[in-house]
Structure 1
Amino acid sequence: MREIRTFELEHGEPASAWRVAQPLAVNVLAGELWLTVEGDADDYWLAAGESFELKRGAVAWMSAGRDGVRLSLTVTSGAADTVRVERRRPPRWTWMPRWLVTV
């Protein structure tokens, strides 16, 4: 058996940072997702039906597009009983748009 967790993010919510405890697939179910991974120079915009693989130990930043986003997280290999993803507060980056940063 595998566990799938579903999340919804609204447009205008601050970006969330997630530390990946085990390999995950991020699957966009509805809307658009902005995704960036620490150490990767690219940002990704994923639409409904698209997915992205996150490696164990990665820190991924996620935010919703204009109409919000519904996404699922699925363990991709080395499946355990639970999906463990730790939410982290974003650092105070001066180059980030203010609406992406929580205080």
Structure 2
Amino acid sequence: MREVRIFELEHDEPAAAWRVARPSVFKVISGEIWLTVQGDSEDHWLATGESIELPRRAVAWISAGQSGARFALASGSEQRAVRPVRGLPGLSWLPRWLGVA
């Protein structure tokens, strides 16, 4: 089973912290997102269409750019066999589901 959640952030909303329960892919659908993972030495600015893999137990801080942002957080079953496609192991359905394939 897969789970995909879609979120929207306005520019003036405070940064939010996320604790990742399962390995997930964070993908920007529209706008721009600032994302930093606790313990990582660098921040990430992700634009529309860009994504990043978040490991299990990571704590990620996110905030929207000037025009706000819409993004998806997707995770698959950890017991399912994974096959790498487009650099997203086990989540080959994500680009099609989001209409960007």
Give the TM interval when normalised to the shorter protein: 0.7 to 0.9
Give the CA RMSD over aligned residues. 1.5
TM-score normalised to the size of structure 2?
0.75
> Judging changes above 3 Å, is the alpha-carbon distance between structure 1 residues 79 and 65 closer, same or farther for their aligned structure 2 residues?
farther
For structure 2, list consecutive stretches of 5 or more residues without a partner in the other structure.
81-101
Q: Name 1:18's counterpart in structure 2.
A: 18
Aligned residues: 80
Equivalent residue letter for 1:52 = I
Give runs of ≥4 in structure 1 deviating > 2 Å. none
Equivalent residue letter for 1:26 = F
Question: 1: CA distance between counterparts of 2:77 and 2:40?
Answer: 22
Q: Name 1:3's counterpart in structure 2.
A: 3
Q: Name 1:45's counterpart in structure 2.
A: 45
CA contact (8 A) 1:29 1:69 kept: yes
Deviations 1:14-69 (A, max 9, x none): 00000001001000000000000000010000000000000000000000000000
For structure 1, list consecutive stretches of 5 or more residues without a partner in the other structure.
81-103
Higher relative contact order at CA 8 Å, sep ≥6: structure 1 or structure 2?
1
